[in-house]
Structure 1
């Protein structure tokens, strides 16, 4: 696939103001352009009881099992869905009858700051999208990643993009961000330069299309967790 032409088209669109003007919500300040957004960073009691067992072990901090919940129209099925998120137990989407539409595994515990920091649901240029801010590590050194998901065919949770957006070491904090544009996104590494990512409808994910600055190197994007599908 030749990415040069679409990269130039998308970059031109973004520079010309063709991207969304929706500002990042304060609970998820790294994500710009998610329209009709609902977002929460407030843990709810007993959310984890509605989710399958995950990576909980003696090494998991209390925040790893804290659950976030939102209601939104995110799937093709009738009615509003309920989205549940937890660091250790992953992501679960329930239909209006509280039946599991789809689920995804959680994350292995790494440190005392492990948690899903915030959960957002909205539309990336009309496409229903789930966003998670996931923090790994300890209170002295930790990394926050932004992960984007879509509900695909057969109720699958499709991880379409995951990348670091904040690096914290003591009082030193480096931040980046994601700006949604038509059929793509711009990703700035924490404290670094910006690259263009193009959505591939065949692969169902955003692919790196090149730096906006020719001297830049490809940004690091962490691999998403493997999805596990509910019925």
Structure 2
């Protein structure tokens, strides 16, 4: 995995872990704190395993994290939503698109329930669904998901330029696949501007599948 990609994914996932309602904190207490520490470590391991092509191990670990999170934090929590997103991404990298889509949809549903229908954290799941549709050459569906992901991540005062840049790169790649090169250039230029703004001019464009 490209270092910039991994930095974006890890930073977003770790930030999402920190967002949880007081009632959940009171219910889980120390167990929830321990769960989050383990989940953070597991997320890093899943990313590393996927990057190394060890997809079966990555999925197995991600599935175990989901099961543990549901047991400790509860099924309808942000923590479980995050764990499902990590699992979905691992399935995507293994080219198990049906399983990836199932988990991205489940994570999106939980995110909407716990954080609201347009919360920017849902952009991770929407982008994932767009990536799946793109790989399956369902271009209209892919564009719809990616545009929703972009709108979500750009909304509100705490928008994330690095993840917006990532989403724009997939939209640019989609335009290339459709032979719309002028449109792709404009999108890539916008993505590069956001990437330079968020991580510095040493950044470069990439599309990781």
Which protein, 1 or 2, shows the higher relative CO under an 8 Å CA cutoff with sep ≥ 6?
Answer: 1
Same fold at TM > 0.5: no
Q: Shorter chain as normaliser: what TM range?
A: under 0.3
Higher relative helix content = 2
Higher relative strand content = 1
| TM-score in terms of structure 1 length | 0.25
| TM-score in terms of structure 2 length | 0.27
